[in-house]
A and B are shown apart, each in its own frame.
Chain A
Amino acid sequence: MSRHRNVKNLDIEDGLDDYDYSAEEEEDDLSPEDRAMMARGVAEVQAALGVEAGKVTVAQIEESLWYYYYDVEKTVNYLIKKYINPPAPKKKPPPPQQPNGEFATSVFAPGMPISPQPRQSLASLFWDMPWGNIPKHRETTFIPPHVPRGGLLGGSGAAPKMSKLQALAAARKKKAEEKKAGEKKAEERAAADVEQAQSKLKELSVNETTTTSSRGTASMAGAFGRRLKTAQSAAQGRVPLAANEPGLTGSSIPSLSTSATPSTLSLSEDNRPIDKAPQSSFAQTLFASPLEKDSSRKRKLPEYFALYPDLPQSVIDAFSKPSPDDIVLQAQAKAGKKNAAPAQPKKKSTATALSTKQASAAQVTDKVSELKISDAVLPKSRNLDVPAEYTKSQQKKSASFVVVGHVDSGKSTMMGRLLLDLKIVNERAVDKLRKEAEIIGKGSFALAWVMDSREDERAHGVTIDIAMNRFETERMSFLILDAPGHRDYIPNMIAGASQADFAILVIDAKEGNFEAGLRGQTYEHIILLRSMGVFRLIVAINKLDMVNWSRERFEEIKDQITGFFKRLGFQLDKIAFVPVSALKGDNIVNRSTDPAASWYAGRTLIQELEASDPKPRELRKPLRMIISEVYSTMQSPVTILGRLEQGCVQVGEKLLLLPANQMAYVKAINTNGGEPVDWAVAGQHAEIALDGIIQEYVSIGDVVCDPNHPVKVMKEFTMKALAWDMFWPMPVDVHRGRLHASGKVTKLVAVLDRATGAVTKKFPQAIRKGQVARIKVEVQDTVPLEAGQRVVLRRGGETVAAGLLE
């Protein structure tokens, strides 16, 4: 039986079933919001269809909804066209007299007899040919006449030298050949051309989604193969082989028939160079009368193609369905896509596009353009149960800590020392820094420069912004947040403290410096830590080498600070004291070797760090993250960095950014300073590459949250505040993490009892230091805030109040 007949009998539905099955499978993976959208969409569509709704199944609605991406209107239109008022079946031949007999009413199209028109002289082909200066595409190419080698066609059987493959092909071919003698030679030629052009175009086309269109163009190119010099000459060499391969032969011709569908008419029109060149007067004189011109223009193409008009019906039928090759290609594409986990809409639409081949031209064009839009699709969310994954993964315990203290108490130096002793930073790098530091006369800053990387920080010798650095011990991994101590940069310190599980408070033990600090930023920082709920503290009493490791000094400072903590309501058992020397590296990682320091037998700084427990992680709550950095990376021009306060995030997920109120998708996640991961959980610092958003919408201090559980964006809020200083209705700075807004206290609602929370006085004139009050605060620009969040109010460089949102 002829191969073509096989093709004819091949059930297209078989091929398509595969698609539908996989599509169905995908549907099970619908994310909850998609499912919600789907349910809503189905209801709307059913409502819109009214009584007709019975004619379509829910599955059909869902499929078309998915395809149209929940566009109810389009879906309804489509459903009506497809199922309720189906248009006359497509197989019905288009009217024989097409308006201007375009060439695309191809000879191969079933049931489309080429109207027997009076033959025109070939002269009409040249009617518009300019004299001389012939355009490249009109130049003829001389091809040596093709004589099939090996006597494949002639059936002489006396092939001189045949390779095995050739022999096999020849044998096969011979069989097939006998049954369809006559038409095939020309057909093979055309087929080879088409195949060649098609494969070329396929190389060009980016992915499978474009094949619908490329097939159209490819076949057109094929149809013009004889005229397109490149296609032709390229095809030439391989004609015999291609012709021998029945599959290939098969594949090319249906393509031609596809091109016959009205959908490609519009596409192919551009490819028609012949009609466009102006008619030269000389050519006119030579070949055609002006009157004839129009009609010849219309007719000549069909005529040109109607070289083999008498194909048997079987051949025509065979090519009206996808060839086996097409089916294989689609299957491959499908498999490839499965690996790459592409977005659903694309795959589904391909399937739908196939199953609705009968759709009108306009619809097809629509689909094609839609498909193109979805080309650059993100990795799809894998809908992982991240908290479960997290428990499974059994990662090393990770914690972040902030280093605070008065300016010049040695915070950055201490962290530099820590990294050096842990061999995170090598000695050579520090030596290099030391040299640079000595040049500007700040030799002792070398260690601090490990953290203070900014030019202005080095020039002025102070930390300005939070520096982040990571290190790991055997048991835990840590993130250092080195905060600035200078009072001008307290907003940055607040940003750092808000991301920390616990804190190292560095105190300068030198005579006078400690006292100055206690009046200055040491006090301020302790208050802020308390306000932001950081209760675990390691107090590193620094520069003890300068006071000769005096135990008395250490105890004196410890007593004073302890009293202070007690008054502020810290739990004393969570506070540890370590005598250290950051510059020399005593009791940081290694125990001090100084005999004067031998009195201290407690834990070193690093041991204390390892003994600290991170705050409990709220993995199951909806995602919240404050953006602390925005920058562009190779992965995305909009990459954000921040700590996940609660919840979790995974690749492919949709996020909501506030207050811009913009959606974005997660393209990639990096944690631990550049390690790509599939998900991140509360407590981790994640670098998230976003897609679908422009940088203008993203700024530092914005909140990233779960679109299903968004944070409220508000202008006014009520909070329960603890007064650190006396205040009354006045303008204030509102801080929450990196969020820094201008606002004002508008109303003092009541003074509350510190212990019970009962109202002791309504509408006071002012709130005294130490009082707890319920107040109303208004911000200048709206900010995303939530009940239970900790907010700090400052004014004129001092912390006025801090408390919880209600």
Chain B
Amino acid sequence: MRFANKRQTVSGLEAEEGVKLLIDDPEDLWHAHNLINEGDLVDAPTLRTSRVEAPSTHNVVYKTEYLNLTVKVKSVFYDPAVSELKVSGFIARDAEGTVLGQHHTLTIKWENRKDRQLYFTLWKEDGWDTVAREALSEALNPDRPESMIAIVMQEGLSNICLVTGHRTILRQRVNTGRARKADELMNKKVRNKVQSFYEQTLLALRASADLSMPRTLILASPGFVAHSFREYLAQAAIKQEDKVLQKMANEAIIVHTSTGQVHNLNEVLMSPEVEKTVRNCKFAAASSIMDRFYEMMRKEDGRAWYGFNTVSKAVSEGAVGRGGGILLMNIALFRAVDLPTRKKYVALVDKVKADGGEVRLLSNEHESGQRLDALGGVAAILTYPMFELDLEENEEEKTKAHDGKPNTEEWEESAEGTTII
């Protein structure tokens, strides 16, 4: 994503100013999804069908045309499978053939076309606050490592994931069931079953990723499955005379995981083999910071705390500040909530920044974000140990746990098999 105006900068942005952004790749749509909140104004070219009645004959004609419409956002829906962003709301600015307040959905769909530049203009309802600016500069970051393909597998189950800088997308899941342990006579059957599992995985891999260019391939599994699969890939590549696949198979990184379930992807991403290739990736940093948090939790040194109430108490006492204080927040928190809650979160971020602490917004579309999500979306590593933070707020915690329902939506998404780790 980039500014339409080349001289525009994030810091130079007025709070109430509208900013025109150009979309350059599908990943940008996901960033746009993070940027646009309920209540914001979005202006984008769109198709609208209007009803025209000829005054004399009362003939009704429906006319579909391209318009630039400005809507006040009611909801944003992002579909990663087809790279499409749907922004619906009410028309907030006069345009020909429309009436103010009519409902409209702007559909921004990624198409790889040179002749048409996708763009939109955004006005924040409550101005450009810290979090919004953070998200914007993240979106503008041109340093995008190429996405990798990771296959987390075990006998009879493989998960084909696309790991990009900001997201891990579970593209396909192949589940053929394990082969039966049989006597020697049955071994042929077992071999066939294993072969067909590999075959299906390769088919799914071809279907879910563009293999015309060599890409980094990570094969992760317990036991020998990943090794055997790599051998299979190499043989299949020779058979099919597919040079690209052959190269990928030969250069595939094999990582050991404890099981073949998707959430073990963090073992993959944190393994030394992968770390070498993806050193500067954002997700690697996020994963390592979550690991650090887990380690501190295990040590119980009083510096790792989670839960909004607990953390905000620590933050208000200035415990998350200069010298190692890190506030971890899930970016989804800013998206889904009402304005007062969002303001509360933003205030928390501002306070930590003011204290000189570090703020990390984790994407819950990554394994690390998922781990943070399980913790309620907010966690902090304090500068100095504090104890008994969680004592008096059991009741509050209880209510929060009830209305917060942080996880359900996400799990449903992944159950559909489209997105997310």
The chain A residues found within 8 Å of chain B, CB to CB, are 453-456, 460, 464-468, 486-489, 491, 629-631, 699-700, 726, 728-731, 733, 740, 742, 744-747, 762-766, 768, 778, 780-781, 794, 796-798
Contacts A631-B180, A763-B398 aside, 10 further interface pairs with beta carbons under 8 A come to: A468-B181, A488-B256, A488-B258, A730-B374, A740-B259, A744-B263, A764-B390, A765-B307, A768-B300, A797-B258
Which A residues are in CB contact (< 8 Å) with B370? Answer: 731, 744
Q: Which 7 A-B pairs have the closest CB atoms?
A: A797-B258, A488-B222, A731-B263, A729-B374, A742-B261, A465-B181, A488-B223
A797 to B263, CA, bound (A): 12
| B415 located at the interface, meaning its Cβ lies under 8 Å from any Cβ of chain A in the complex | yes
Determine whether the beta carbon of B191 is less than 8 Å from that of A455. Answer: yes
Instruction: Report chain A residues within 8 Å CB of B224.
Output: 456, 460
- Bound: A487/B181 CA distance, A: 19
The CA of A751 and the CA of B355, in the complex, are separated in Å by 35
Give me the interface of B with A, judged by CB distance under 8 Å.
155, 175, 177-178, 180-184, 187, 190-191, 222-224, 228, 256, 258-259, 261-264, 267, 294, 297-298, 300, 305-307, 310, 370-371, 374-376, 390, 394, 397-398, 401, 407, 411, 414-415
- In the complex, what residues of A have CB within 8 A of residue B184's CB? 453
Given contacts A766-B300, A778-B411, A780-B415, contact A486 B223 (CB under 8 A): yes
- Given A454-B187, A700-B177, A747-B401, the answer on whether A726 and B263 have CB atoms closer than 8 Å is no
A797: B residues at CB distance < 8 A? 222, 258-259
- Contact partner of B177 (CB less than 8 A), chosen from A489, A699, A763, is A699
A and B contact pairs by CB, cutoff 8 A, 19 listed = A453-B181, A453-B184, A456-B228, A460-B224, A466-B181, A488-B222, A488-B223, A630-B180, A700-B178, A729-B306, A729-B376, A730-B374, A730-B375, A731-B263, A731-B374, A740-B261, A744-B407, A765-B297, A797-B258
What residues on A are CB-neighbors of B407 within 8 Å? 744, 746, 778
Find out whether the CB atom of B374 lies under 8 angstroms from the CB atom of A780: no
A166 to B61, alpha carbons, bound, how many Å? 94
Inside 8 A of A630's CB, which chain B residues have their CB?
Answer: 177, 180
Task: Assess A489 versus B223: contact at CB under 8 Å? Given A456-B228, A744-B374.
Answer: yes
Distance in angstroms from B319 CB to nearest chain A CB is 15
Which chain A residues lie closer than 8 Å to B191 at the CB level?
A: 455
Cβ A728 vs Cβ B297 within 8 A: yes
Q: Are A454 and B181 in contact (CB under 8 A)?
A: yes
- CA gap between A778 and B405 in the complex, in Å: 12
Cross-chain contact of B310 among A700, A765, A798 (Cβ < 8 A): A765
8 Å CB contact of B187 from A455, A465, A487: A455
| Measured CA separation A486–B256 after assembly (Å) | 13
A742→B262 contact, CB < 8 A = yes
Q: Give the complex CA separation of A781 and B175 in angstroms.
A: 13
In the assembled complex, the Cα of A781 lies from the Cα of B394 at a distance in Å of: 30
The answer to whether A765 and B390 touch (CB under 8 A), given A731-B374, A742-B263, A744-B374, is yes
Is B371 a contact of A465 with CB atoms below 8 Å? no
Could you tell me the distance between the alpha carbons of A574 and B346 in the complex, rounded to whole angstroms?
A: 60
Contact residue among B182, B222, B371 (Cβ-Cβ distance under 8 Å from A730): B371
Q: Note all chain A residues with C-beta closer than 8 A to B264.
A: 796
Residue of A nearest to B178 (CB): A700
User: Assuming the A-B contacts A454-B181, A464-B223, are A765 and B306 also in contact, with contact meaning beta carbons closer than 8 angstroms in the complex?
Assistant: yes
Interface centre among B261, B375, B394 (most CB of A within 10 A): B261
Q: How far is the CB of B307 from chain A (nearest CB, A)?
A: 8
Distance of A323 Cα from B81 Cα, bound (Å): 71
The smallest C-beta distance from A635 to any residue of chain B, in angstroms, reads 16
Which residue of B258, B297, B298, B390 contacts A796 across the interface (Cβ within 8 Å)?
Answer: B258
Inter-subunit contact A455/B190 (CB<8 Å)? yes
**In the complex, chain A residues whose CB is within 8 Å of the CB of B177:** 630, 699-700
Q: Please name all residues of chain B whose beta carbon is closer than 8 Å to the beta carbon of A726 when the two chains form the complex.
A: 297-298, 300
CA distance A488 to B394 in the complex (A): 39
A453 and B223: CB pair below 8 A? no
- Given contacts A454-B181, A456-B224, A488-B258, whether A728 and B187 have CB atoms under 8 Å apart is no
Query: Do the beta carbons of B180 and A629 come within 8 Å of each other?
Result: yes
Q: Which of A456, A728, A781 contacts B375 (CB 8 A)?
A: A728
Cross-chain contact B415 with A453 (CB below 8 angstroms): no
Residues on the A chain within 8 Å of B259, using CB: 491, 733, 740, 794, 797
- Docked CA distance A486–B394 (Å): 42
B14 to chain A, nearest CB (A): 41
Interchain nearest-CB distance for A670 vs B (Å): 15
Min C-beta distance of A485 to chain B, whole Å:
13
* Contacting residues, chain B, for A731 (C-beta < 8 A): 263, 370-371, 374
> Shortest beta-carbon distance, B209 to chain A, in Å?
22
Among A486, A488, A700, the most chain B Cβ lie within 10 Å of the Cβ of A488
Q: Which residues of B contact A730 (CB under 8 A)?
A: 294, 371, 374-375
B415 touches A781 (CB 8 A): yes
Q: Which one of B182, B258, B267, B370 has the highest number of Cβ atoms from chain A below 10 Å of its Cβ?
A: B258
A742 to B170, CA, bound (A): 14
A450 → chain B closest CB, angstroms = 10
Contact of B414 with A728 in the complex, beta carbons under 8 Å: no
In whole angstroms, what is the CA distance A730 to B295 when docked? 13
Contact check, A765 vs B305: say whether CB atoms are below 8 A apart.
yes
The residues of B that contact A491 with a CB separation of less than 8 Å are 259
Residues of A within 8 A of B223 (CB): 464, 486, 488-489
Min distance, Cβ B265 to any Cβ of chain A, angstroms: 10
Chain B residue with the shortest CB-CB distance to A728: B297
**A778 / chain B contacts, CB cutoff of 8 Å:** 407, 411
Residues of A within 8 A of B261 (CB): 733, 740, 742
Give every chain B residue within 8 A of A764 (Cβ-Cβ): 390
> Which of chain A's residues have a CB closer than 8 A to the CB of B155?
464
Bound Cα distance A687, B284 (Å): 48
Within the complex, what minimum Cβ distance (angstroms) separates B264 from chain A?
Answer: 7
Chain B's closest residue to A744 (CB) is B374
| CB closest chain-B residue, reference A729 | B374
- B190 nearest in chain A by CB position: A454
Q: Which A residues are CB-close (under 8 A) to B267?
A: 796
Which residues of the partner chain A approach B375 to less than 8 Å between Cβ atoms?
Answer: 728-730
B397 engages A467 (CB within 8 Å) = no
A451 — nearest CB in chain B belongs to which residue? B181
Q: How far is the CB of B36 from chain A (nearest CB, A)?
A: 29
Q: Which residues of B sit under 8 angstroms from A464, Cβ to Cβ?
A: 155, 223
Q: How far is the CA of A744 from the CA of B264 in the complex (A)?
A: 12
Least distance between A494 CB and chain B CB atoms (Å): 11
Cα distance A747–B415 in the bound complex, in angstroms: 20
Q: In whole angstroms, how far apart are the Cα atoms of A465 and B183 in the complex?
A: 12
Contacts of B414 in A (CB 8 A): 780
Interface centre among A630, A631, A798 (most CB of B within 10 A): A631
Q: Is the CB of B263 within 8 A of A453?
A: no
Least Cβ–Cβ distance between A747 and chain B, in angstroms: 6
A542, chain B: closest CB distance, angstroms? 23
**Whole-angstrom distance between the Cβ of A732 and the nearest chain B Cβ:** 8
Q: Please, which residue of chain A has its CB at the minimum distance from the CB of B175?
A: A699
A467 contacts B374, CB within 8 Å? Answer: no
Distance in angstroms from A725 CB to nearest chain B CB is 9
- In whole angstroms, how far apart are the Cα atoms of A763 and B392 in the complex? 11
With beta carbons under 8 angstroms apart, the residue of B183, B256, B258 that contacts A453 is B183
Q: How far is the CA of A464 from the CA of B261 in the complex (A)?
A: 18
State the Cβ distance, B134 to closest chain A Cβ, in Å.
25
Q: Which residues of A are found within 8 Å of B310, using beta-carbon distances?
A: 765
A747 to B294, CA, bound (A): 16
* Among candidates B180, B183, B306, B411, residue contacting A780 with C-beta atoms closer than 8 Å: B411
Name the residue on B nearest A452 (C-beta).
B181
CA distance A467 to B264 in the complex (A): 27
Residues on A with C-beta less than 8 A from B397 are 763
A408 to chain B, nearest CB (A): 15
Closest to B367 in A: A731
Closest B residue to A716 using CB positions: B408
| A residues near B297, Cβ cutoff 8 Å | 726, 728, 765-766
Asked whether, in the complex, the Cβ of B181 is within 8 Å of the Cβ of A467, the reply is yes
In the bound assembly, the distance between CA atoms of A798 and B267 in angstroms comes to 13
Q: A763–B374 Cα gap in the complex (Å)?
A: 14
CB distance from B257 to the nearest CB of A (A): 8
